[in-house]
Structure formats: C-alpha cells, structure tokens
A and B are shown apart, each in its own frame.
Chain A
Amino acid sequence: MNSLPCSPGVDFKKLSLMEALDLAVTVEEEARDRYVELADALSIAHTPEASEFFRKMARMEEKHRVALLTKRRASFGDRPSTVGRLQIFDIEAPDYDTVRVFMTVRQALEVALQSERKARAFFKAALAETTDLEARFLFAELVAEESDHEAYVLAELARQATDPWGDPPGDPADYSDEPVSQ
C-alpha cells in the first residue's frame, strides 16, 4: 500500500478522482478546524491579534473546502465520503506546537506559511504516487492553489515588515505576566 505518513490508510496508487476530492475536502476541513482551535486557544490566552488572523485563515480554508465539495457533489452527488478524519493528520493544519501565548501576527503568518508549504508538499507527493489521471489533475491543481495561498501569506508578511513598530525582540513572553494558575 502506498500511503503517506500523515495520511495512513490512504492508498494513492488506487486513488480515484472522487477519493482524491474526498481527501482534499477532508484536508481543508482539518485545517479549518485547527485554525479555529488555535484561534480559541489564543483568544483565551489574551493574544487577540494572532487569534484574529487564525480565524481569517479558518475562513479561507472553509472557502476552499466548500469549493472542493461543490466540485465533488457536481460529479459524484451525495455518495458518502470515502475519506474520514481518522485518516488525516496535520496535512494542512498547523501543528499544535506552532502557537505561543502573546505571539505576534507576524509569527502567526509564519505559522500559516509553513502550513501552506506543508500542504503543497503533501499534494506534490500525492501527485507523484497517484496513477489515476483525473486524480492527478486534481492534485496538480491543488499544488498550484496552495502555491497561491503561500503567495498570499508571503504578501501579508511583506506588509507586516513595514509595520513601524516591528516585532518585539526576543521571546514575547518575556514582556508578560506569569501564566495564571487554576
């Protein structure tokens, strides 16, 4: 079976277009949920700007998911999805350890950048493994789209760099109170 480490149980050699679409939808769904989770954690931890940025990312991933889902429904209707969340591990979703209390928006952008790159690499690898022509075409499209996302994040980063305040030096936590005990 030709599976990738972060998507155990998915056999790319035999992947059909519908299965590839299901996979892509699930990847976007996971990324959306993760951004919401991280945004929640950051907002509880009084890091509102980064939190807000992650919510924006969540909205973006949701848009992408809906687009893919529409495509899938158009071709294959409401047949149950062939890929479940149990087979998807942090493909586009940022790892939990990428966030920190009091992180800046710039740092949050870096997280998103890494995630988009991670996703692109995944779809690229999938493209290499997959034999079905239509599925290959989809993965190629996804690689391109993730590149676009990456470009968007890079542009945002560039805009941030012109921020007259810049990033605080060192660990942002140095400028804060101790975390509050329960």
Chain B
Amino acid sequence: MDTATTTCGATATPKDYSSALKPIWCPGCGDYGVLQALYRALAAIGRPPHEIAFISGIGCSSRIPGYTTAYGFNSVHGRALPIAQGVKLANPDLQVIVAGGDGDGFSIGGGHVAHAVRRNLDLTYLVMDNQVYGLTKGQLSPTSPKGLATVTSPLGSLEEPINPLLYTLAYGAGFVAQGTPAEMPGLTALIEQAIRYPGFAFVNIQSPCVTFGQEEQQMRAHKAHLRPLASLGHDPSDQLRALDLARSYGKELHTGVLYRNPNPPPTYDALVRERQRALAPEAKDRSRLLDVFLQK
C-alpha cells in the first residue's frame, strides 16, 4: 500500500534538517516542496543529521544538499551516484541519499544508473525530473517529450524521452516510486519509505520547472491529473504490473510505489562488510606486508 503516511513519534523535527542557507531556486519551483517533504521524511526517520551523507551532482535540484544540515557533497555533473557509492562503502553506517535532476541522472550520468541498481547498495536516489534543463536555461533534457521545442531544439526534438521508471525497473531496482510536490503527504511518505528500503531505492519526483517547464507539467496540472497508484488498486509487489504501469510515464502521472521487492536481497555494502569480517583474521602486521616478495 502506498498511501502509508509519514511515521510519527520521532523526536526529530523537520527544522533539525534545515540549514541556514536559503535556496536560490526560482519562486514557485517544485524543488521547494521536495525539500520540505525531505525535511519531514528525515524527521520521521530521525537519524541525526551528521549521520546522513547527501550527495548530488550539478543542476538546480543538485543544490539541495546545501539546504540541509546533513553532510553534503555538491559534486560535479552526473557523478553523484559513483561518489555516493564510495561514501556508502567507506562507511555503511551512514544514511546516504543521492539527489539530482533528470539531466544529471539520465543524460550525463546515465551510464551510472544501471550499475548503481545492479550493485544494490543501500542508497536512496531522488531525481527531481522536470523534463528540461533549468540551470542552463531551457534546453532539451533526456526526459523532454518528443517534439518539444526548446532553445536547443527550436524546430522540435526528434528523439523519444528516456523513461526513468521503466529503466530502473528493468535494471532490477528493488524500490521504484514516483511522486510530486503537488501531493505533499504522499511525496513525504514515499521519500521516507525509499530511505527505509534496505537497498537501492529510486524515487522519480515530478518537480515542475516554473521558469522553463511546460504548462501541462506545472503543479496545477499535476494536481488535476495525478493518479495515485493506490486508487488503481496496484500491488507494489507485482513487478510485471509495475513494468506495465511504468510504460505510461510521460502520459499518465502515476504517484506512489510502483515496485517494492517484498524480499529484499542482502545489499552490496552488507556483503562487503561480511567479506571484510570473514577475512580480517588473515590480516598481516603492517611490517610483514612485504614478506610475500621475499626470495629465500
């Protein structure tokens, strides 16, 4: 069921996760809502901010770690996922969240998604998908609908958009969801569930670009047209149905959990830790490391 509400009772409050830095997003940007939903989800989970590593790439939405009190890393374009995997493997006790836009995640960094999914580290990947390049002012993005006229496709784009939901499901992600800041309680609950999922969890957040986005992708339109998966009676453990529903990305705005693996396999970071524990007894003293090369 994907109408799950945010957990209550944690002693943390959303304010604990909000930094003094003021967002520089355009007034009306969808990312403000995403940030608010994130604060609430983090408060619901209640991990102290210093135990959270929040990694992003480059883009409007990649500014988000700076607006939290977590350890943030606003890295370079498209590389948030590899960096986040290094962070998680270095310290599996951290709660690692990755965020970015559709260009960051599915264009310049697109090659990393399949591998992040197949490795299945316990990471949460939040993509603020607005179907346009906002930071560079209105160019075609990998999720822009076919035919869209932008400054780099003035005569209309000739290519089909990427389908983030279908991709991640097909790569084998254990948790795939979609939300929108037009429906805040749902989005908050999704982010919380994604963070709680023990494995790679992907939330595609339809976060409108108020400045360069199309009219039919604004919050008003979202509110009018969103279709909660729960209202369709979708069972999130049904992977095949999830794949089928994902095909309507760009046509229908489904919100909720598309797929959650009911039996999450052990994560990569857990397996790494297991291997380290198993082999630790074989460690040699630092001064004996070179002995393997000694010729007698």
State the majority secondary structure of interface residues on A: loop
From 81 to 114 in chain A, residues with beta carbon under 8 angstroms from any chain B beta carbon are 84-87, 89-90, 95-101, 103
- Total count of chain A residues near the partner, CB < 8 A: 31
- A96 and B33 within 8 A (CB): yes
- A44 and B24 within 8 A (CB): yes
- B137 and A179 within 8 A (CB): yes
- A85 and B27 within 8 A (CB): no
Per the bound structure, the CA–CA distance linking A45 and B25 in Å amounts to 9
**Which one of A4-12, A62-70, A151-159 is at the B interface?**
A4-12
State the majority secondary structure of interface residues on B: loop
Chain B residues contacting A98 (CB-CB under 8 Å) are 28
Q: Decide if A75 is an interface residue (CB 8 Å cutoff).
A: no
- A86 and B8 within 8 A (CB): yes
Per the bound structure, the CA–CA distance linking A100 and B32 in Å amounts to 13
Q: Decide if A140 is an interface residue (CB 8 Å cutoff).
A: no
- A47 and B27 within 8 A (CB): yes
* Known contacts A86-B40, A97-B28; is-contact A182 B135 (Cβ 8 Å): yes
Q: Decide if A181 is an interface residue (CB 8 Å cutoff).
A: yes
Which residue of the partner chain A has the closest CB to B32? Answer: A96
Interface residues of A (CB under 8 A from B): 5-6, 8-9, 37-38, 40-42, 44-45, 47, 84-87, 89-90, 95-101, 103, 173, 178-179, 181-182
Interface residues of B (CB under 8 A from A): 5-8, 10, 13-15, 22-30, 32-33, 36, 40, 43-44, 135-137, 181-182, 184-185, 188-189, 208, 210-211, 218-220
